[in-house]
Structure formats: structure tokens, C-alpha cells
């Protein structure tokens, strides 16, 4: 069951909460009628145990059990720090 967990890579938009971060994950979707690729963004609230993330960081998050009302993802690693 542990191997079926989803993973996403995204950019942190907010880290003002305690032990929580908001991660924006961008994907490209083909428009049904016109065929043009459109950027779509999903926001996930993830658990950051050590509070070591800052806005602009690129991170990997993994699905986990519900930790609160909106939080069911957790931080796996920081891929790249914001410059």
C-alpha cells in the first residue's frame, strides 16, 4: 500500500503557517476544442515538520493520511532553494 502513494513536485507559495506549507503544482493540459496546451495549477497544503521551507522553494510532496481538515500531504525533500 505504501508504494501507491502519489508524489508531486511544486513550488511553495506560502509558509506562514506553523508546520504547514502551501505548494502550487503546475501541469499542462491540452484544450479539448483548440488543442492548445494550457497551464493549470493545483494547490496542496502539506506538512513541514521542521519549518525549514521558504516561499519559492521547489519541493517534493507525498500523499499521506489526513493530518487536518485540508492537509493530507507531507514534505519529502527540498529539491531546490529559492534564490
pLDDT at 27: 97
Q: What's the confidence (pLDDT) of residue 64?
A: 96
Ranges of each domain in the chain? 2-80
pLDDT tens track for 15-61: 999 999 999 999 999 999 999 999 999 999 999 999 999 999 999 99
On whether the pTM is more than 0.85, the answer is yes
Topology of 2-80 in CATH?
Answer: OB fold (Dihydrolipoamide Acetyltransferase, E2P) (2.40.50)
pLDDT, position 31: 97
Secondary structure percentages of the chain, helix, strand, coil, to 5 = 5, 55, 40
Confidence of residue 83 (pLDDT cuts 50, 70, 90): confident
Total residue length of the chain: 83
Amino acid at each position: 500500500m505504501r508504494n501507491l502513494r502519489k508524489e508531486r513536485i511544486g513550488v511553495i507559495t506560502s509558509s506562514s503557517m506553523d508546520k504547514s506549507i502551501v505548494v502550487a503544482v503546475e501541469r499542462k493540459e491540452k484544450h479539448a476544442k483548440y488543442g492548445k496546451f494550457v497551464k493549470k495549477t493545483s494547490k496542496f497544503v502539506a506538512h513541514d515538520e521542521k519549518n525549514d521551507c521558504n516561499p519559492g522553494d521547489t519541493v517534493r510532496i507525498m500523499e499521506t493520511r489526513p493530518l487536518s481538515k485540508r492537509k493530507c500531504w507531507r514534505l519529502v525533500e527540498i529539491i531546490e532553494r529559492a534564490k
